[in-house]
Amino acid sequence: MPALDQYDQCGQDGAVSCRVVWKMTGNETAADLAEWLIGKPLAIAGLILIALVARWLLHRLIDRVVRQTEDGSVTGRVSNMTFGGRSVGSRFGISPTDAATRRMARARTMGSLLKSIVTGVIFTIVLIMTISELGYDVAPLIASAGILGVALGFGAQALVRDFLSGIFMIFEDQYGVGDSIDVGEATGTVEAVGLRVTRLRDVNGTVWYVRNGEILRVGNMSQNWARTVLDVAVAYHEDISRVRRVLADVAHDLWQDDEFRGVVIEEPEIWGVQEVGANGVLIRVALKTAPQEQWAVGRELRQRIKARFDFEGIEVPYPEWVVRDPAHQGSAVAPTGSTAPTPEADGSSAE
């Protein structure tokens, strides 16, 4: 019975190539070679092809969900809820634009995480099926997965910590793609968030790869709103009340400027004298801005303050030195612009 011999030789799950060669030649060696050189490589290639197609389809599905989440209105409805006669968004300084930007960043971050998980699961399944296709029994491998997991838990604690930290960071919305964050050693814009590492690019263009398990604290400069804080130094002899009025006018003009409407989101504040030091008096100015706009607003405000101080004749402090001649006790030579008295000014002689 050739059919029975065929199944005996190639097995119930034997490759088609093995059966065809056995039927054509009746040679056991040729049938085995056909199975190992043609059947199994084709089967493995088929598994890889199916895995790639499945990965592509699932990634497209994730991208579609991410786009729908970016265009969703859930966050907008939350921001428009009222509380004590005021909307929740205005109460916490969250504009609809800020909420939409934050929603988009979080959706992209979750999409990146889901893609990483899908790729890992598909790769694991294909690996196990490939081992099974090669004729090895995968039951002990699956059964020992628990023991292997425990061993990896002890031997790769850093890797497990990175994974767990990455998962909690993402689900707690500590930061997302596009956020400007400070993680200690590195500060920059988040380009990618994975289960193990977070990729940042700093202002100089340097790319930093930070392990999630090594991040002990995160400073996020992109959530909801930001603040520009400037310490403006003026000379001691200036009238502080006048300087405060000038600073308030400059900041108010910036707030009313159409170019910065929506960027500066609240009336600027002059907090007053911050420090009285050896180099002058520091007056602090604060402006509440949209996320990641604090640096541009700060640069523009400094430029306007410089121009207004020049127009008003307000002086900023500058270093002064008094040079004394050791050969003439009590004499002093003051540089131009210094207020230090000279011997001629106070009526004393240089002799």
Nearest-Å Rg of the Cα atoms of the chain is 35
Banded model confidence at residue 80, pLDDT cuts 50, 70, 90: very low
Mean pLDDT calculated for residue range 152-179: 77
* Candidate ranges 120-134, 169-183, 221-235; pick with highest mean pLDDT: 221-235
Mean pLDDT calculated for residue range 313-326: 80
Lowest mean pLDDT among 40-49, 66-75, 86-95, 153-162: 86-95
Domain with CATH 3.30.70.100 in the chain: 226-312
Looking at per-residue confidence, does 154 or 226 come out higher? 226
Mean pLDDT calculated for residue range 278-289: 89
Cα(21)–Cα(82) distance, integer angstroms: 77
Q: Contact, 252 vs 269, CB < 8 A?
A: no
Banded model confidence at residue 116, pLDDT cuts 50, 70, 90: confident
Banded model confidence at residue 285, pLDDT cuts 50, 70, 90: very high
Banded model confidence at residue 123, pLDDT cuts 50, 70, 90: confident
Lowest mean pLDDT among 7-11, 21-25, 32-36: 7-11
Mean pLDDT calculated for residue range 182-196: 86
Banded model confidence at residue 1, pLDDT cuts 50, 70, 90: very low
pLDDT at site 281: 92
pLDDT at 326 over 50: yes
Domain with CATH 2.30.30.60 in the chain: 148-224
pLDDT at site 307: 94
| CATH 2.30.30.60 matches 148-224 | yes
Mean pLDDT calculated for residue range 141-167: 71
Q: If DSSP codes are grouped into helix, strand and coil, which group holds residue 195?
A: coil
pLDDT at site 330: 55
pLDDT at 158 over 70: yes
pLDDT at site 174: 85
Scanning 134-196, the segments in alpha helix (DSSP H) are 139-143, 145-155, 157-171
Mean pLDDT calculated for residue range 116-127: 85
Angle at 23 between CA 22 and CA 25, to 5 degrees: 65
What are the start-end ranges of the E strands in the chain? Answer: 82-83, 86-87, 180-182, 187-193, 197-201, 207-211, 219-220, 226-234, 269-277, 280-289
Banded model confidence at residue 124, pLDDT cuts 50, 70, 90: confident
10-49 as b/e, with b when 16 or more CB fall inside 10 Å? beeebbebbbbbbeeeeeeeebbebbeebbbeebeeebee
CB contact set of 39 (below 8 Å; sequence gap of 6+): 14, 15, 16, 17, 18
pLDDT at 152 over 90: no
Question: What percent of the chain has a predicted confidence (pLDDT) above 90?
Answer: 20
pLDDT at site 57: 93
pLDDT at site 102: 63
Q: What is the 3-state secondary structure (H, E, C) of 41-104?
A: HHHHHHHHHHHHHHHHHHHHHHHHHHHHHHCCCHHHHHHHCEECCEEHHHHCCCCHHHHHHHHH
| CATH 3.30.70.100 matches 226-312 | yes
Looking at per-residue confidence, does 167 or 253 come out higher? 253
pLDDT at site 77: 38
Q: Contact, 158 vs 152, CB < 8 A?
A: no
pLDDT at 135 over 80: no
Q: Which tokens sit at 12?
A: 């119930």
